[in-house]
């Protein structure tokens, strides 16, 4: 039994005269790695912003675990268990790497006293250490986040997204700006993450995701062009036409 | 925004041990016991400055700047309206004593409460905007507060200020203290300042302190981490208002009057200058800045009638060459060695 964890129904986004998304309906199954792909300007980022809570759609509804969450605020999305990483690296630059993750993990405490020292919550610090270990940044615990290389900052972002133990992990082009080796490591990490939770990945480079995802959603000109398994998509004539010249 | 208090860095197993100088180690000791260090310095202050009224001023404006810095240096919100909170504290305490005949120990919470309420209203309206617009909204609302108190002359004395806040003897559980004696007065006020510093230090070390720093660093990321940015900013604004209000009540007790200038936008500018010169986003910085500004003014007014020119020049030099402020630069310099 694999019911959808996230359902987007008839999502439409209108920016003045420009239609960024038109009637996109997609259901994402739990514990799967789904990739949203499409050429530039396909509406991938707009779609990502809608399902991650930073943009309220002009039309349509979003359901998370059966609950209508359309119009909820960004922090409410996070509290419900939808974590995200941004396309442009987005960390707390002057805080230490450890504090970045610890602060993200602190959200698990629904209430905290104004006068309790944060160092006394040792479990959160231990958690931050283990998450950083996982993304390969354990040694950087005491460094300011701004001192990390670009690829490391992206890994830090993943650790921060994991820190609140999300039910759904949304990643917006996690390999953007990475070197080929870093990209491979990141894909490897994402594959391992997807073994234990639902991951939705927005990616421009189709080749990258073909091998690792269970399902693909193809957007084109703000519309849903195709969806299915990587094999379905590979065989899809429309997709081939859109990605003309690219070997699918 | 490049100055970070050493104590804000969470270290699970203690900071990495390297070769550190005695200077660095003693700085770490000071920052670890930051409240005790400030209080120790403040206990000695009356004998370090030319006369005691100046020490009292440093005490009061130092607390004002610490409260302001919670919002400016730690939450990243530049308010140009903090005079309204400082002044509301003064008037709240003053009106309680003059018009309602309340004892001094009830007047202090009255002033703090009034300042917090004013802070709640200003904060609620201002946090809807960001950056320069936030600063402008706080400035505009603070001017409204100024005119409201100016016009309510029956209670506030209007242009002349509120006079007649006489507290000459302070009775602490049967122990009578002569509040007119400058040193006694200084130490009575110091008790309240010390309590407020302890409170601020705890707030900064708490998980809430971590969230406001996160908001300063990256508001969108903080929201994506599940923190309600608007609510957190409002709480920070009100805490800041309460602390600045306390500074205001202490000033009313100290001066026995409340000048209308305490609500003036120049007072707001004054506290911005103190925080910047001392080092925003550091625990000691605001106190250092308050002492520095008040001492410079003291020196410059004796020296020339164009003293404001000199103060302005010092300010420009600092903003251009030491943007971290005095304490921030010291911390940065020690951190690099």
Which regions of chain B does DSSP assign to beta strands (E)?
Answer: 169-172, 175-178
Confidence of residue A98 (pLDDT cuts 50, 70, 90): very high
- Report the pLDDT value the prediction gives residue B211, as an integer from 0 to 100: 94
Q: Enter the pTM of the model.
A: 0.89
CA–CA distance, B176 with A126 (Å, rounded to integer)? 52
- Name every chain A residue with its beta carbon within 8 A of the beta carbon of B206: 112-118
Q: Residue A112: which of B1, B12, B208 has the nearest Cβ?
A: B208
Q: What letter would DSSP give residue A108? A: G
What's the first-to-final CA gap in chain A, in angstroms? 31
Q: Is residue B324 part of a domain?
A: yes
For residue A173, pLDDT over 50 is answered with yes
For residue A244, pLDDT over 80 is answered with no
A residues 52..91 contacting B (CB < 8 A) = 52, 54, 73-75, 78-79, 83-84, 86, 90-91
- Report the pLDDT value the prediction gives residue A122, as an integer from 0 to 100: 86
Confidence of residue A110 (pLDDT cuts 50, 70, 90): low
Determine the distance in angstroms separating the CA of B8 from the nearest CA of chain A, rounded to an integer. 8
Residue B218 in contact with partner chain A when CB distance is under 8 A: yes
**How much of chain A exceeds pLDDT 70, in percent?**
96
Determine the distance in angstroms separating the CA of A200 from the nearest CA of chain B, rounded to an integer. 16
Residue B166 in contact with partner chain A when CB distance is under 8 A: no
Contact A93 B1 (CB under 8 A): no
- Report the pLDDT value the prediction gives residue B127, as an integer from 0 to 100: 94
Q: What letter would DSSP give residue A110? A: S
- Report the pLDDT value the prediction gives residue B245, as an integer from 0 to 100: 97
The residue with greater pLDDT, A211 or B104, is: B104
Of B108, B69, B88, residue with least CA distance to B188: B108
- Report the pLDDT value the prediction gives residue A111, as an integer from 0 to 100: 62
Q: Is residue B4 part of a domain?
A: no
For residue A102, pLDDT over 50 is answered with yes
Which residue is closest to A170 within chain B, CA to CA?
Answer: B224
- Report the pLDDT value the prediction gives residue B8, as an integer from 0 to 100: 41
Q: Is residue B31 part of a domain?
A: yes
What residues make up the domain containing B177? 21-336
Of A27, A30, A44, residue with least CA distance to A203: A44
The residue with greater pLDDT, B7 or A159, is: A159
ipTM of this predicted complex?
A: 0.86
Q: Is residue B3 part of a domain?
A: no
Structural domain count, chain B: 1
Q: Is residue B15 part of a domain?
A: no
Residue B292 in contact with partner chain A when CB distance is under 8 A: no
Contact A93 B218 (CB under 8 A): yes
Q: Is residue B254 part of a domain?
A: yes
Q: Is residue B28 part of a domain?
A: yes
Contact A115 B206 (CB under 8 A): yes
Which of B73, B225, B328 should we substitute to test contact with A (largest number of A Cβ atoms within 10 Å)? B225
Residue B17 in contact with partner chain A when CB distance is under 8 A: no
The strand pair at A168-172 and A82-85 is best described as parallel
Contact B206 A114 (CB under 8 A): yes
Of B205, B9, B210, residue with least CA distance to A107: B210
A-B C-beta contacts closer than 8 Å: 115
Of B215, B116, B85, residue with least CA distance to A94: B215
- The two structure tokens encoding residue A248: 């699918």
The strand pair at A82-85 and A198-203 is best described as unpaired
Confidence of residue A209 (pLDDT cuts 50, 70, 90): confident
Cα dihedral: A166, A170, A172, A175 (round 10): 70
- Name every chain B residue with its beta carbon within 8 A of the beta carbon of A99: 8-10, 210
Q: Is residue B104 part of a domain?
A: yes
pLDDT tens-place values along chain B, 337 residues long: 343 443 444 434 444 445 667 877 887 888 788 888 888 888 998 888 888 889 999 999 999 999 999 999 999 999 999 999 999 999 999 999 999 989 999 999 999 999 999 999 999 999 999 999 999 999 999 999 999 999 998 889 888 888 888 887 777 777 788 888 888 889 999 999 999 999 999 999 999 999 999 999 999 999 999 999 999 999 999 999 999 999 999 999 999 999 999 999 999 999 999 999 999 889 889 999 999 999 988 888 888 888 888 888 988 998 899 889 999 998 888 876 5
Contact B12 A125 (CB under 8 A): yes
- Name every chain A residue with its beta carbon within 8 A of the beta carbon of B202: 114-115, 117
Report chain A's mean pLDDT, rounded to a whole number: 87
Contact A106 B207 (CB under 8 A): yes
Yes or no: say if B184 and B55 are a contact pair by the CB < 8 Å rule: no
Contact B10 A102 (CB under 8 A): yes
């Amino acid at each position: 039994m694999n019911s959808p964890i996230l359902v987007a129904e008839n999502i439409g986004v209108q920016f003045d005269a420009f239609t960024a998304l038109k009637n996109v309906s997609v259901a994402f199954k739990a514990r799967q790695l789904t990739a949203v792909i499409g050429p530039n300007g396909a509406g991938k980022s707009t779609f990502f912003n809608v399902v991650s809570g930073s943009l309220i759609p002009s039309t349509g509804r979003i359901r998370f675990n059966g609950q209508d969450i359309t119009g909820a605020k960004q922090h409410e999305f996070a509290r419900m268990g939808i974590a995200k990483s941004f396309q442009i690296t987005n960390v707390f630059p002057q805080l230490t790497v450890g504090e970045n993750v610890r602060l993200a993990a602190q959200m698990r405490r629904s209430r905290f006293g104004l006068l309790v020292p944060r160092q006394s919550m040792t479990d959160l610090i231990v958690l931050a250490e283990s998450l950083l270990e996982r993304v390969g940044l354990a040694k950087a615990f005491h460094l300011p986040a701004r001192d990390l290389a670009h690829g490391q900052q992206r890994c830090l972002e993943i650790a921060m997204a994991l820190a609140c133990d999300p039910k759904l992990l949304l990643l917006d082009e996690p390999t953007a700006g990475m070197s080929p080796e870093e990209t491979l490591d990141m894909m490897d990490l994402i594959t391992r993450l997807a073994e234990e939770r639902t991951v939705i990945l927005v990616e421009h480079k189709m080749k990258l995701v073909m091998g690792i995802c269970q399902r693909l959603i193809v957007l084109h000109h703000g519309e849903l062009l195709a969806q299915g398994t990587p094999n379905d998509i590979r065989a899809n004539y429309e997709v081939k036409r859109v990605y003309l010249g690219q070997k699918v | 925004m490049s100055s970070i208090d050493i104590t804000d860095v969470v270290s699970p197993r203690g900071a990495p041990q390297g070769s550190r100088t005695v200077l660095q180690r003693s700085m770490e000791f000071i920052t670890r016991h930051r409240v005790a260090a400030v209080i120790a310095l403040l206990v000695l202050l009356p004998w370090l400055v030319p006369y005691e009224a100046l020490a009292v001023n440093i005490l009061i404006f130092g607390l004002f700047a610490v409260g302001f810095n919670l919002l400016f240096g730690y939450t990243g919100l530049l308010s140009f309206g903090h005079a309204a909170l400082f002044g509301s504290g003064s008037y709240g305490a003053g009106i309680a004593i003059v018009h309602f005949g309340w004892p001094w120990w009830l007047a202090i919470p009255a002033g703090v409460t009034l300042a917090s309420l004013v802070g709640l209203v200003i904060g609620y309206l201002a946090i809807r905007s960001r950056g320069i617009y936030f600063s402008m909204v706080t400035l505009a609302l603070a001017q409204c507060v100024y005119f409201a108190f100016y016009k309510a002359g029956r209670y506030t004395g209007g242009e002349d200020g509120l006079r007649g806040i006489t507290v000459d003897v302070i009775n602490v559980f049967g122990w009578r203290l002569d509040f007119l004696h400058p040193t006694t007065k200084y130490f009575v006020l110091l008790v309240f300042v010390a309590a407020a510093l302890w409170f601020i230090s705890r707030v900064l070390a708490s998980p809430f302190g971590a969230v406001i720093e996160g908001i300063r660093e990256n508001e969108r990321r903080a929201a994506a981490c599940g923190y309600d940015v608007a609510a957190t900013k409002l709480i920070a604004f009100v805490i800041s208002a309460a602390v600045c209000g306390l500074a205001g009540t202490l000033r009313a007790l100290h001066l026995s009057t409340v000048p209308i200038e305490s609500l003036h936008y120049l007072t707001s500018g004054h506290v911005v200058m103190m925080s910047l010169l001392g080092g925003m986003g550091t625990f000691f910085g605001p106190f250092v800045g308050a002492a520095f500004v008040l001492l410079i003014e003291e020196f410059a007014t004796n020296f020339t009638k164009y003293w404001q020119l000199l103060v302005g020049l010092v300010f420009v030099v600092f903003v251009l060459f030491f943007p971290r402020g005095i304490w921030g630069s010291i911390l940065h310099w020690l951190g690099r060695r």
